[in-house]
Amino acid sequence: MNSKTIAIANQKGGVGKTTTTMNLGIGLAKMGKKVLLVDADPQGSLTISMGIHNPYSLRDTLDSAMQAVLSDQPSPLPHGILHHAEGVDLLPSNIELSGMEITLVSAKNRNGILRSCLEPLRSSYDYILIDCPPSLGMMNINALSAADSVIIPTEPKFLAVKGLDLLMSSIVKARTQINPGLQIDGILFTLVDGRTNNARDIIASLEAALGEKIRIFDTRIPYSVRATEAAQEGKSIFAYSKSCKVAKAYESLTKEVNHHAQRPRHRPRSDCLR
């Protein structure tokens, strides 16, 4: 299989993007895949979740790598890439990345800076997962430009699902204008409380409305405080509580994502979006 870059994206915060990026990445590593996680959020949530509690002290980060591309200077990569004990690599981030949004607005090739950073790394990894910020700004556009596909985590709640229209529009624009090969791997329901009728009704209605156009993952990630506790410990859910329902769900998701990646590339159902 060729290297695959996946953006984990949703402009709404608190829907499990970082948790999904970390646990999907480590799940793939447990299958023997070489995985790079990219923290593209200035809040550095992925970096902190992976046990780096003082990201502000890091000299080599995604920001410095993108700055190097912008100024035609030698890249700090792969020197700045960190290795996690659970078998994945991390390109970290910190608050310095927040200035990149403004810098990119007036930059030449502003949509392709992240792609230029990651392209030399693709031959070293089976998967590159990008944890996107909760916005539709320039960093998200760069992530969509760099990615082969997108996974969209969302809560089964009315406002969360309602906001998917804006993200879909951004993906369609990215495909039309800067990345014709971009696909949607699927919508992933996270933080699911299966006891509520509301959650079940929203999942059913979205499957009815979009199921023929966009793949919806069979896996549902249940709500559990253990996922948050694991991140606070700098561990995946597999290392923190391997027998809990969230760990089982992320194991299932990992198999789904890897199976889907093995299939020949063809015109996806998500091309129905226009």
Residue 196 has pLDDT above 80, yes or no: no
Tell me the pTM: 0.93
Containing 167, the helix (H) or strand (E) segment is: helix 164-177
Q: pLDDT tens for residues 143-162?
A: 999 999 999 999 988 777 77
**What's the rounded Cα separation, in Å, for the pair 47 and 41?**
9
**What's the rounded Cα separation, in Å, for the pair 188 and 258?**
15
Residue 230 has pLDDT above 50, yes or no: yes
Confidence of residue 203 (pLDDT cuts 50, 70, 90): confident
Q: pLDDT tens for residues 183-193?
A: 999 999 999 98
Tokens for 136, please give them. 């539709």
DSSP assignment of 199-260 equals: HHHHHHHHHHHHTTTS-EEEEEEE--HHHHHHHHTT--HHHHHTTSHHHHHHHHHHHHHHHH
4, 149 in Cβ contact below 8 A?
A: yes
Q: What pLDDT, on a 0 to 100 scale, did the predictor assign at position 267?
A: 46
Length of the chain: 274
Given the DSSP bridges, would you call strands 35-39 and 89-91 parallel, antiparallel or unpaired? parallel
